[in-house]
Amino acid sequence: MTTQRRAVGAYGEQVAARHLQEQGLVVLDRNWRCAEGEVDLVLRDGADVVFCEVKTRRGDLFGPPAAAVTPAKVHRLRILAVRWLDQTGIRPREVRFDVVEVRPQAQGASQVTHIRAAF
């Protein structure tokens, strides 16, 4: 991955985390990694734990950002969620998988779309 792509991704994750915190969610983990991969954000929403994939795109040439969440990515995120829960020992009432799309704008604030229970 190029330095520029990493920077765009990190920017999107920062924007997404701030947006979700403004909505009342609490960040439990950022960029959590294990052998199987990485979870962008893990949050608490009341008694629920939310695993959040953040997708940032500067344009729509390849479709909306959420289109990058493929079935293989969904499968991997579900495995990562189990690993995270096992490692932390947290036993939430419910687990939810969200996607946050971040579209930086030429001027002004980025456009943020929060897709709750995306899969």
Q: Give tens-digit pLDDT for 11-56.
A: 999 999 999 999 999 999 999 999 999 999 999 999 999 999 999 9
Model confidence at 114, pLDDT cuts 50, 70, 90, reads: very high
b/e 43-82 (16+ beta carbons within 10 angstroms → b): bebeeebbbbbbbbbeeeeeeebbeebeeeeeebbeebbe
CATH number for domain 3-115, candidates 3.30.465.10, 3.40.50.10070, 3.30.200.20, 3.40.1350.10: 3.40.1350.10
Model confidence at 1, pLDDT cuts 50, 70, 90, reads: low
Report if pTM > 0.85. Answer: yes
Q: Where are the domains of the chain?
A: 3-115
- Residue 84 burial (CB count, 10 A): 19
Residues 6+ positions from 95 with CB-CB distance below 8 Å: 48, 49, 50, 51, 81, 85
Rounded Cα–Cα distance for residues 75 and 73 (Å): 5
